[in-house]
Structure 1
Amino acid sequence: MLFFLGRTVWTKIIRNNTAVDYLFNAEAYDFNYQYENRLPDRVKLYRGDEFATRCIYNTMNKDVITLGGERTKDEMCLHMATYYPRMDNLYGCMTTNSPDAWLAKMNISSPFDYNQLQEWLQSLKWTPERVAEWQEFYNTVPRIAIYGAAPNLQFNPLPRIPEYKDLKPVICTRDQTTPGQSPATRTTASQGSTKPTTVAFNSAVRQNVLTFFPLISIVMKIIIS
């Protein structure tokens, strides 16, 4: 889920450091047109599989910063999927920039304070050079991966976003939906996947909802017992 500035969101399945398919791909995301995308076929995950989620925004019509948050005037990058069998110790996974990285960016040594960070971000004057500088910051900044279920959340440092071999790009046509086909089974038109896009695992067996909260992008390792 994104808000009004969101334009694209996708999650890829990474296996052995290689993207093998999309779990979900919305190249043209619209906040006003959201739906549950059911799988036409089940997707099997294996021990060691990873998810990479990325959201793309357009703020060209703004001259002030957009903060992350739950209000529609803010932004988020959230992806939910239903899966089975249920894992009682895993509810979701999120990444956030390392507090130490924020302190270094602000050039201060005091303890990390989110309100202070928010005020500092809102005071910045944006130029094309600063935009490029911040994009590089987000591409390389160390992160903290938080996963599990309360009250037993796990915190693991990520020196940087793990790299992987991506899907082969293909030419994107205006609409690859076949006659009578719903958007839920529309074929992916970019990055090389021709399988139906997916977001939910369905079964009469025990189910649970797995939520991803990536601020920019996340890579999550699946541990299947």
Structure 2
Amino acid sequence: MTAKVDLKVVLLGREASGKTCLVDRYLHDRFNFGVNQATVGAAFGAKKLQIGGHTITMGIWDTAGSERYEAMSRIYYRGAKAAITCFDVMDPTSFERLKFWVNELRNNEEHCKLYICGTKVDIAEGNRSGRVDVHSVSDYADEVHARYFDTSSKTGQGIQELFTAIAEDFIQSESKTRTLAADGATVPLARRDPVGSGRSAEPAGGCCA
């Protein structure tokens, strides 16, 4: 079954950075503790939202984090309006890997809005000395013009706020584009999504891909 997707969102990040758990909590309000089967290729989910009198359908692509699937991930982020780049707040190497995807998007999808997402903050509460420095992440987010959110798929912390912000930013951007068009300004044509942003696929992953 296909459905029209207004807002294509892609999740990128290292394997086991919590991407699949993040989507599962947002779409289904659940957390499957202990399930960590890696996503293969990508999984798709969609949600209809009512934001400020607007109705939109958000399509979310959860991509595989393994480096061997990088080429495939590039297919899925094409045409995305928003990208959530995830890192495990207790894993500095996952934050360094996040920078790779930020550079990818900046070089290939310049109109895609970036959101940096720190995951598993519930674990950091008991071990603050071991987590990635919040100020370093915040400074980096400012540097690349991204919005930064800390989240926990276990407790739900920050997840609704993250996706609501994405939807609100999209609506604001679309309203601005329509205003420019009405005023006669030149507006760039949207790129076609080669994988079909409205195409549904069965989830192929577990909790913490």
Q: TM-score, length-normalised on structure 1?
A: 0.25
**Structure with the bigger percentage of strand:** 1
Q: TM-score, length-normalised on structure 2?
A: 0.27
**Structure with the bigger percentage of helix:** 2
Larger radius of gyration: 1
